[in-house]
């Protein structure tokens, strides 16, 4: 599932007109493709599992976790039945195990309303998500962008976005929150799409004259 292509086209038109730096990034990167994870609980589980470890390590743990659940799906109710020791047995740290069980418990009891969270504003959704242990503002913002498909999320604390802004806008150092928001102001109301282009810009090879 992807964000509506017509919405993406409108966002790209806005960014190209509003910011000459972003216009050049768009030229070099090409079309924007934002894929959405439809299973909201699964996305949050993966976000917790991948915190502060390498991509390869996160994938290995995720596969062992899914094998532990098999043939059941990792629904809130099924995960809530697991123990910390069972989760530790597949490589999940004790701390992350408590995070997963807190998430599963809240989701299964309805204190975090994943089915209805798309009806909330960005800030209200973030406030609800960050009540869960182990889910901070950045993880909540990624959920808004890549599960709910919100187009105006600006993760100013994201190292990749900050590094891209430094490189693209010729800054001497990583921008602080105030400077980041100042640069991102023309991107509104499509900061999610601009952030996606910031991430993709980090993969570009330097152009030769």
The CA distance from 179 to 199, in Å, is 18
Percent of the residues in the chain that have a pLDDT greater than 70, as a whole number: 99
Closest CA to 79 of 52, 99, 59: 99
State the chain's mean pLDDT as an integer.
94
Closest CA to 183 of 170, 199, 201, 196: 170
Phi, psi of 174 (to 5 degrees): -60, 135
Q: Which pLDDT band, with edges at 50, 70 and 90, does 179 fall under?
A: very high
Cis peptide before 189 (omega within 30 of 0): yes
For residue range 34-82, list pLDDT tens digits in order. 999 999 999 999 999 998 888 899 999 999 999 999 998 899 999 999 9
Percent of the residues in the chain that have a pLDDT greater than 90, as a whole number: 88
Q: Which residues are catalytic?
A: 158
Domains defined along the chain, listed by start: 5-35+153-201 (1.10.1670.40), 40-146 (1.10.340.30)
Per-residue DSSP letter, 149: -
The CA distance from 36 to 7, in Å, is 14
Question: Sign (positive/negative) of CA torsion 108, 110, 111, 116?
Answer: positive
The CA distance from 133 to 144, in Å, is 18
The half-sphere exposure of 181 on its side-chain side, counting CA atoms within 13 A, is 4
Indicate if the pLDDT at residue 141 is higher than 80.
Answer: yes
């Amino acid at each position: 599932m992807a964000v509506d292509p017509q919405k993406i086209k409108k966002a790209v038109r806005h960014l190209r007109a509003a910011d000459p730096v972003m216009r050049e990034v768009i030229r070099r990167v090409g079309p924007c493709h934002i894929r959405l994870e439809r299973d909201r609980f699964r996305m949050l589980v993966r976000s917790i599992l991948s915190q502060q470890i390498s991509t390869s390590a996160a994938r290995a743990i995720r596969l062992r976790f899914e094998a532990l659940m098999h043939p059941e799906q990792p629904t809130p109710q099924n995960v809530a039945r697991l123990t910390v020791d069972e989760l530790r047995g597949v490589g999940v740290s004790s701390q992350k195990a408590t995070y997963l069980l807190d998430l599963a418990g809240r989701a299964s009891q309805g204190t975090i309303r994943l089915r209805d969270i798309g009806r909330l504003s960005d800030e209200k959704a973030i406030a609800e998500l960050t009540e869960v242990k182990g889910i901070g503002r950045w993880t909540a913002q990624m959920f808004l962008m890549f599960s709910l498909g919100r187009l105006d999320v600006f993760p100013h604390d994201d190292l990749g976005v900050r590094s891209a802004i430094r490189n693209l806008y010729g800054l001497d150092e990583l921008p602080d929150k105030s400077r980041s928001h100042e640069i991102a102001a023309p991107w509104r109301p499509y900061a999610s799409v601009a952030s996606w282009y910031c991430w993709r810009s980090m993969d570009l090879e330097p152009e030769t004259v």
